[in-house]
Structure 1
């Protein structure tokens, strides 16, 4: 399938300036971003198409090559790989994707930065917030586009092509038999020079600011999950695309529940009489209390499973289960009457007849006797 014209993709005229391109890209990104259109393959494809179009048209050298040769310049390596040729631009794309993503936008061998740096943010959530989802405002210290010069770095809007590198951002020199190239020392690899720098950003096109963002956390997230907000990272230098913001989720420990994937676990204390005689008790869940039938002769550690009372998965949307482990509590702070009754009750557990009432204790005692018999024989 043939590609659409990049100007058509962004909906701008062929003589559109940097500001018009940026506005068109942001409008397109907001409309088709995958986070706003979960599961929509068509929207994801449109988002990638917009991003590809902006990356080419926002770069002066790539745009010039594209205007001359169209998509073929990047698909077939026209220009022979020399400076300013499309083949050279292709190599820049390859290295820029690798090193730019790792180091926040740096290009190869002094080539001008393609995009701003990515930003990381750790968001702490309670278990309830992680399970149900939440929308939170966060403050991010970042480099944002200078409003005074619209990111150009120039006080009067005039940007000139660097005469040293010819706008390529690199200079070539000979060292022995080797021909080498490095970032242009005159323009710092930008390919452009500014004779009248902006007073607010000092020609950088970016200023330090604290940005407030509203982040929507989907229901079911867990420790280690990461949410990407495209274009919310640092502004790129000289009007290039911004980086992304990555929000890493950390869920605090809960007083009652322990999470294991989409399942929840909790300990439920019960009295001695409830464990021996059986009872119906109420146990907590994330949706409120429910009844749990504890059968007679229940021992400490018995695990009860409540289906679909866990966490609804952020991926499969299927809920996990809640596992309740009962713990038989030893009574404390006994009254004189309670102590007397308990002593009478305990006195009934004597002789051989007591074995049938405490099978685990009897098995343990028999094991200990066998152990000492073997040790002394």
Structure 2
């Protein structure tokens, strides 16, 4: 178990902080790490609970006095020292809902400390999609046939048979919550939780739908169109809201999370938003110079002039000819980086050999001392 942090440190206030300062600090942290803003984020949930535990102690004068005097080992600490582990989100919202200025969160909790009726949310779905480099460069729309929970075709999501109605829950009397009262060292403590009878809806169905058993959903298929933006990369996740499993009894649909995989490309190597192209230059063009064609991800070819005496290992950078940045994660396009290699034929005709033998004696083909030193240093640095 992780060691508890000092409550003043958790809220970011000093030990002389006023009640209003403590309340304001807790509100700031609670909104930042609120579960509605951080769905599925366990770390944020723990920080939310940690802040609630600190506020539970420091906003109460008696608890604060004991904490200031004895710390976590003081008398009665067991009453709230395991606050985060023993209480769920509903309990926290019901106890401290008033600090959110009329809303205990972003999911419909009232400022009076009572929870509104529960609206079910369907679960999320996950898909994997393999994209070619061309699809990544231009963006693409993919169609998937997805098996998932859909709205019941018999009751249209109500969960009730035709002509049947809902009635007020006899357990919670329509509030969707039940109140627990417990005795602590500080007196009676009340907490609220979801009603187990109606699941927080406040109503129960008299005659449940025979087709879906009262859930309002059934198994089915749906063809889903998913638009994938240009510039995505391996491991990225594209979230498609509202296309996941249907929520029970006309609840909120879940999302579809699309995990991106990249197919290898025969022409280019991807380096973030840059594209790398390995150009194999023939020896005459490297020696004499000339014009070469460089392919691009757009499908066209760029004519690039090579200077006489182009050396193996030379790099050209064509600005803006790479991949676009994903919208919201950068601007513009990457570059097309051309790495130059010089092709040396493995077999030669008699005439070719004779011509090269004549070049062997030329000082230009031997290379001067400075050139040899530069080549040596390149290879030395490469292998060091």
TM-score under structure 2 normalisation? 0.60
**Mean alpha-carbon deviation: is it higher for 211-220 or for 267-276?**
211-220
In 2, Cα distance between equivalents of 1:140 and 1:133: 21
Indicate which of 184, 193, 196 corresponds to 1:185.
196
- Counterparts of 1:157-306 in structure 2, within 5 Å, are 157-176=164-183, 177-223=188-234, 225-287=236-298, 288-306=300-318
Displacement of 1:281 after TM fit?
1.3
2:157 aligned residue: 151
The Cα shift of 1:204 comes to: 0.9
Out of 119, 124, 129, the residue aligned to residue 125 of structure 2 is 119
Per-residue deviation at 1:259? Answer: 3.0
User: Which residue number corresponds to residue 105 of structure 1?
Assistant: none
Rounded to whole Å, the distance in 1 between the matches of 2:324 and 2:217 is 42
**Contact 1:161-1:193 within 8 A present in 2 as well:** yes
d(CA) in 2 for partners of 1:215 and 1:355?
Answer: 58
Retained in 1: the 8 A contact 2:98–2:104? Answer: no
Deviation per CA, 1:68-92: give whole Å up to 9, x if none: xxxxxxxxxxxxxx99xx9699887
Which residue in 2 is equivalent to 1:131? 137
Return the alpha-carbon distance in structure 1 between the equivalents of residues 121 and 148 of structure 2: 14
| SS of alignment partner, residue 238 of structure 1 | coil
Alignment of 1:325 with 2:331, yes or no, is no
In 1: Cα distance, 2:375 partner to 2:247 partner: 71
Matched length: 274
Q: TM-score, normalised by structure 1?
A: 0.61
SS of the residue corresponding to residue 223 of structure 2 reads strand
* Root-mean-square deviation (Å): 3.8
How far residue 145 of structure 1 moved from its aligned partner, in angstroms, is: 1.4
C-alpha separation between the residues in 2 aligned to 1:366 and 1:88? 68
Q: 1:131 to 1:367 in 2, by over 3 A?
A: closer
Q: Which whole-Å deviations, capped at 9, do the CAs of 1:113-149 have from their partners, x for residues lacking one? A: 4533333333221110111222210133322211211
> Could you list the per-position Cα deviations for residues 265-305 of structure 1 after superposition, in whole angstroms to 9, with x for gaps in the alignment?
21111122221221211111123122111111111121112
Counterparts of residues 40-51 of structure 1 (less than 5 Å): none
Contact 2:286 2:311 in 1 (8 A): yes
CA contact (8 A) 2:115 2:175 kept: no
Please state whether the residue corresponding to 1:128 is helix, strand or coil.
Answer: helix
Q: Distance in 2 between the 1:225 and 1:211 partners? A: 24
| CA distance in 2 between partners of 1:162 and 1:367 (Å) | 80
Shift of the 312–89 alpha-carbon distance from structure 1 to 2, 3 Å rule, reads closer
Q: Which stretch of the first structure deviates more once superposed, 276-285 or 208-217?
A: 208-217
CA deviation after TM superposition for structure 1 residue 321, in Å: 2.8
Distance 1:307 1:367 in 2: 26
Distance 2:167 2:127 in 1: 37
Q: Which residue of 2 aligns with 1:371?
A: none
Q: Is the 2:283–2:342 Cα contact (8 Å) retained in structure 1? A: yes
Does the C-alpha gap of structure 1 residues 169 and 344 become closer, same or farther in structure 2, counting only changes over 3 Å? same
Per the TM alignment, residue 180 of structure 1 is displaced from its structure 2 partner at its CA by 3.4
Change (3 A) 1:295 1:133: same
Which stretch shows the higher mean deviation, 180-189 or 324-333? 180-189
Which residues in structure 2 correspond to 1:338-353 (within 5 Å)? 338-348=352-362
